[in-house]
């Protein structure tokens, strides 16, 4: 399934490097060719001879190898691959990537490449949980780096928890998925997701119960069909999708700005639960209790991002999909919402508390388009996302 594909495999210096030998074997079994690169530390764990014997290619290790510069410079090396895979990705390599260091061959290749990058992190549990690593992880996810693993389990250092490198076959599956020629390949799609937070003062805000689960599932499903996804999310509970560009925002106005900054796109899916109103003049300092009575909040209307994008005369996405969270007369209200906002499709759902949909794992939706209303059976949010992604691919074909 990987026939004809070239993987640039960067092996970092961790005990999990021994698994990279098996990874090379598995990739080659499937027809891929592997150009191996080892960091200096990696050579302390596995020998370059084993790596090159399994890869059937020379190992690249030195940034300043003049012969190789003449034959195939490091820039070229980073670009001939279909995918760059870093396995194991140590805490140090992740930090270098997040910060944009280029002080050895591996980090320079990662800076110079214009091909997609996937990392398989492997490190001690505490190092994985460390805020610095989690910050770097978020940065890398935001840059569109795909992450596979780490898994939870017993570790070579004797501790237990997340930090174990994904197994070679899991990495192979992720590579196959990343290289699959999906119908949305080459298409940029923007997805908004999660709640917005509207500040009252520096410590208080108004928000809603959206978990971001449906928007996240949609981003994952679009990515699986090959789309280049830009995921603009409020401060949502759901884990961020992987292998997509993540932009974190707080308020409706921040979300609008992030959306506008990232147009044009082939399609926009507006799954965020955007607050309709914000506090007109949020206080810069904490509002204190006073004997003078209760504070009065005045509201101002937020920009309607979906309506604004739908009604753009220039640079409008080819397909604009909105959501409607209704509690009564779902189809009727959503149909008129589609017309009022000017979007192409509305995915309407009944969010009455008894449905358990808001914040739950299932959804029962009606897709409203020019052709009328199409009710889908109640199913998991992942299944709804896959069906919607399939329809989007059909519409953009
Ligand atoms: N939406 C948006 N910007 C807003 C409000 C909503 O982009 N300021 C988008 C949502 O992401 C969703 C759709 O509009 O795709 C429907 O939002 P909803 O709040 O249900 O619609 P409203 O216009 O607020 O209508 P109502 O409150 O009357 O139901």
At 103-131, the pLDDT tens digits run 999 999 999 988 889 999 999 999 999 99
Residue 336: pLDDT over 90: yes
Instruction: Report the residue among 269, 272, 300 best suited for mutation to probe ligand 1: largest number of ligand atoms under 8 A from its CB.
Output: 272
Burial 271-308 (b: 16+ CB within 10 A, else e): bbbbbeebbeebbeeeeeeeeeeeeeeeeeebbbbbbe
- Ligand 1: residue of 194, 207, 301, 324 to mutate (most ligand atoms within 8 A of CB) is 324
Nearest CA to ligand 1 atom 24: 276
Tell me if 323 CB under 6 Å of ligand 1: yes
Nearest 5 degrees, angle CA 176-CA 37-CA 5? 30
- Average pLDDT for 124-144: 91
Whether the pTM exceeds 0.85: the reply is no
pLDDT tens column, 43-54: 999 999 999 999
For ligand 1, say whether the CB of 272 is within 6 Å of any of its atoms: yes
CA-252 nearest atom, ligand 1: 8
| Closest ligand 1 atom to 271 CA | 11
pLDDT at 279: 96
Range with lowest mean pLDDT among 1-5, 159-163, 244-248: 159-163
Ligand 1 pocket check for 221: Cβ under 6 Å: no
More confident residue, 162 or 165: 165
pLDDT at residue 186, rounded to an integer: 80
Looking at the predicted structure, is the pLDDT value of residue 334 above 60?
A: yes
Cβ of 350 less than 6 Å from ligand 1: no
In this prediction, residues 316-326 reach a mean pLDDT of 95
The pLDDT assigned to 7 comes to: 97
pLDDT-above-70 percentage for the chain? 97
The catalytic residue positions are: 157
Q: Does the structure show a pLDDT above 70 at 170? A: yes
At 68 the pLDDT is 63
Going from the C-alpha of 263 to that of each of 190, 233, 272, the distances in angstroms are: 8, 16, 17
Q: For the chain, give the mean pLDDT.
A: 92
Question: With a 6 A CB cut-off, is 325 part of the ligand 1 pocket?
Answer: yes
Binding site membership of 305 for ligand 1 (Cβ less than 6 Å): yes
pLDDT of residue 240: 85
Higher-confidence residue of 205 and 209: namely 205
Residue 289: which pLDDT band, with cuts at 50, 70 and 90?
confident
> What pLDDT is stored for residue 351 in this prediction?
83
Separation CA 92–CA 107 (nearest Å): 10
Nearest protein CA to atom 27 of ligand 1, as residue = 276
pLDDT at 67: 57
Contact indicator for 155, 125 with CB cutoff of 8 Å: yes
pLDDT tens digits for range 60-92 = 988 766 556 555 667 778 888 999 999 999 999
Half-sphere exposure of 351 (CA within 13 A, CB side): 16
Q: Which domains does the chain have, with CATH numbers?
A: 6-178 (3.40.50.1950), 188-396 (3.40.50.10300)
């Amino acid at each position: 399934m990987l026939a004809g594909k070239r993987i640039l495999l960067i092996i970092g210096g961790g005990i999990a490097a021994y698994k990279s030998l098996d990874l090379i074997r598995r990739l080659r079994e499937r027809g891929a060719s592997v150009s191996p690169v080892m960091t200096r530390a990696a050579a302390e764990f596995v020998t370059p001879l084993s790596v090159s014997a399994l890869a059937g290619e020379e190992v690249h290790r030195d940034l300043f190898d003049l012969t190789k510069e003449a034959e195939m410079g490091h820039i070229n090396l980073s670009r001939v691959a279909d995918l760059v895979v870093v396995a194991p990705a140590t805490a140090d390599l992740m930090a270098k990537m997040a910060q944009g260091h280029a002080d050895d061959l591996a980090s320079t290749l990662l800076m110079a490449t214009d091909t997609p990058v996937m990392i398989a992190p492997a490190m001690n549990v505490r190092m994985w949980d460390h805020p610095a690593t989690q910050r770097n992880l978020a940065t890398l996810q935001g840059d569109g780096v795909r992450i596979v693993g780490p898994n939870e389990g017993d570790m070579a250092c004797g501790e237990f928890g997340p930090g174990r490198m994904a197994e070679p076959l899991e990495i192979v599956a992720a590579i196959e998925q990343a290289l699959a020629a999906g119908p949305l390949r080459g298409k940029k799609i923007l997805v908004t997701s999660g709640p917005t937070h509207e500040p009252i003062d520096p410590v208080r805000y108004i928000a809603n119960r959206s978990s971001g689960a449906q928007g996240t599932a949609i981003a994952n499903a679009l990515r699986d069909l090959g789309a280049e996804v830009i995921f603009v999310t409020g401060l949502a509970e759901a884990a961020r999708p992987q292998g997509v560009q993540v932009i974190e925002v707080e308020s409706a106005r921040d979300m609008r700005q992030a959306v506008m900054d990232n147009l044009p796109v082939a399609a926009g899916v507006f799954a965020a639960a955007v607050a309709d109103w914000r506090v007109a003049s949020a206080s810069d300092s904490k509002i204190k209790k006073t004997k003078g009575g209760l504070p009065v909040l005045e509201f101002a209307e937020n920009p309607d991002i979906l309506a604004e994008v739908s009604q753009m005369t220039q640079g409008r996405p080819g397909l604009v999909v909105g959501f409607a969270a209704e509690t009564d007369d779902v189809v009727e209200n959503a149909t008129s919402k589609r017309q009022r906002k000017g979007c192409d499709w509305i995915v309407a759902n009944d969010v009455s508390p008894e449905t358990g949909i808001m914040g739950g794992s299932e959804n029962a939706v009606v897709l409203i388009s020019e052709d009328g209303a199409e009710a889908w059976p109640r199913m998991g949010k992942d299944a709804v996302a896959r069906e919607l992604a399939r329809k989007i691919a059909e519409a953009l074909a």
